[in-house]
Amino acid sequence: MKARDLIERYEAYCPQELSMEGDISGLQIGTLDKLVDRVMVTLDVRETTVAEAIEKGVDLIITKHAPIFRPLSDLVATPQNKIYLDLIKHDIAVYVSHTNIDIVPDGLNDWFCDRLGIKFTKPLSLTHDSYGIGRIGDIPRQTFSEFALKVKDTFNLDSVRLVSYGQETKVIRRVAICGGSGQSFYKEALAKGADVYVTGDIYYHTAQEMITNGLLGIDPGHHIEVLFIEKLIEKMEKWKYENQWNVTFIASQAQTNPFSHL
C-alpha cells in the first residue's frame, strides 16, 4: 500500500490541525509517495531506533517525537546527523505526530486516564474550540502516596518524583495529567481544582511554586509516553483489518529512555 493512504487514515483520526502552534507534526523525512510493507511505531527516533528499523526492513516510521528538533546548519556526519543520513540512505520515511495525539479525543492523555482510573475527564488547557491538551478528572478518594504508587506500578517505573513537602498522607480526589513536559499548565490544574498534577520534567522552582499554591505533583518522567506505541499499534491493526491492508506493523523495541535510577 502507499504510505499516503495509511497516513490519510491516521489523520482522519488525529488531524495535524489539532497540533499546538509552532509544533512539529507531519512528514519530516522522505516521501509518502512510496509503497510500504513494514511500518514501525516508536516514541523516539534515535540511533537505536534507526538500527532496528534498518535491520527489520522498515519503510516508514511513525513517531511521537520528531528526530529533527533543532534547525540544521549542515549534514556533516556527526553522531546526531548520522541518524538523519542513515534514514535517508535506507529510504525510511518518518512521520511525526506530537501534540495532536496529546489533544485528540481517544489520544494519549485519554489513554493515561483510562490506565489510572481517572473518570469524568475534561481538557486541562483548551487549544482549539472544545479541544485541549492534558486532562482533569476524578478518582476515588485515596491518599497521595496510594495514588503515586499506582502511577509507578501502572507505568512499570522504578521510581516517581513527588512534589509534596511530605504530604504523602493527604487525601486526594481530583487529578490533572499531561504527558510529556506539561509543567507550564500547572496553573490551569490549580484553577480547575486539581489536588495533584501528574506530568514529566517538573523544574525545581516550578515544584516549589506548586506546593506554595496548594498543588501536589507526581513526576513519572517523560518516557511514560511510550504508551503511544502500544495503543497506536492497536488502532492500526484495527484499520488494517477493516481496510484489508497488506502491511506489517512493528512496535519498536529499541531503548530510548535516557534515564535510569540507582
Q: Are 116 and 150 in contact (CB under 8 A)?
A: yes
Chain centroid, CA 24 distance in Å? 13
Q: What is the residue type of 83?
A: I
List of long-range contacts for 211-215, beta carbons under 8 Å, 24+ apart: 211/163, 211/164, 211/165, 214/190, 215/163, 215/186, 215/189, 215/190
Q: Is 222 annotated as a binding residue?
A: yes
Q: Is 209 annotated as a binding residue?
A: no
Q: Is 90 annotated as a binding residue?
A: no
Give CA–CA dist 66/192, Å, rounded: 31
Q: Which of 96, 99, 94 is nearest to 32 (CA)?
A: 94
Q: Are 68 and 95 in contact (CB under 8 A)?
A: no
Q: Is 219 annotated as a binding residue?
A: no
- Residues annotated as binding site for a divalent metal cation? 65, 102, 222, 225
- Residues annotated as binding site? 65, 102, 222, 225
